Amino acid sequence: MRYFVRIGGEEHEVVLDVDGVRAGEETLGASVTPVAGTPVRVVKIGDRVHRVVVRPGASRGQYTLWVEGYRFEVEALDERARAIRELSAAAAGPSGPAPLVAPMPGLVVRVHVSIGDDVSAGQGLVVMEAMKMENELRTPAAGRVKAIRVTPGTAVEKGTLLIELE
């Protein structure tokens, strides 16, 4: 079985098979023995023995390990889980704050921000008039104003890009 292990930003490929554990070009005689009723594992690599405390992390494949007084945040995924994660990430689309778009046709009355402004979640960015009512459009997430695509007095259709955030 092939695993991809990430420790401190570095990724290592580890292969477990009948001959032992192979990390890179080196094959190691290794074994892991759980200590019943505890999160402790006794790990033997060659002639060295380590007590490792293992706690599962927030998501699949994430663990916190304590080895000889040191704490390590580790991610270990098998080939299948890694492939699924990569496919999911590729299909996820862009990340970051969503742009502000017109929710209805109307007239831009005021723009409350400038390019480069930092905005917080819920902050009003644009006031639009639609059906003789003024509506303040707010950002759902924090970000920085990247571009302003409208000016006061601009008539817009539903879905028109008003402000880009980064």
133-162 burial code (b ≥16 CB/10 A, e <16): eebebebeeebebeebbbeeebebeeebeb
Are 139 and 85 part of one and the same domain? Answer: no
Q: What is the structure's pLDDT at 29?
A: 81
Q: Kindly report the number of other CB atoms within 10 A of residue 11's CB atom.
A: 11
| Farthest-apart Cα atoms in the chain, separation | 80
Kindly state whether residues 111 and 160 are assigned to the same domain. Answer: yes
Decide which of 40, 72, 91 is a domain's last residue.
91
**CA–CA dist 59, 39 (Å, integer):** 17
Q: Same structural domain for residues 46 and 87?
A: yes
Same domain flag for 55 and 6: yes
pLDDT of residue 94: 60
Are 43 and 63 part of one and the same domain? yes
User: Among 91, 126, 157, which residue terminates a domain?
Assistant: 91
Domain boundary among 91, 115, 149: 91
Total number of domains in the chain: 2
Are 83 and 106 found together in one domain? Answer: no
pLDDT at 91: 66
pTM: 0.49
Structural domain harbouring 84 = 2-91
The answer on 104 and 87 residing in a single domain is no
Ranges under pLDDT 50 in the chain? none
42 close to 33: Cβ distance less than 8 angstroms: yes
Same domain for 49 and 114?
no
According to the model, what pLDDT value does residue 35 have? Answer: 94
7 and 83 both lie in a single domain: yes
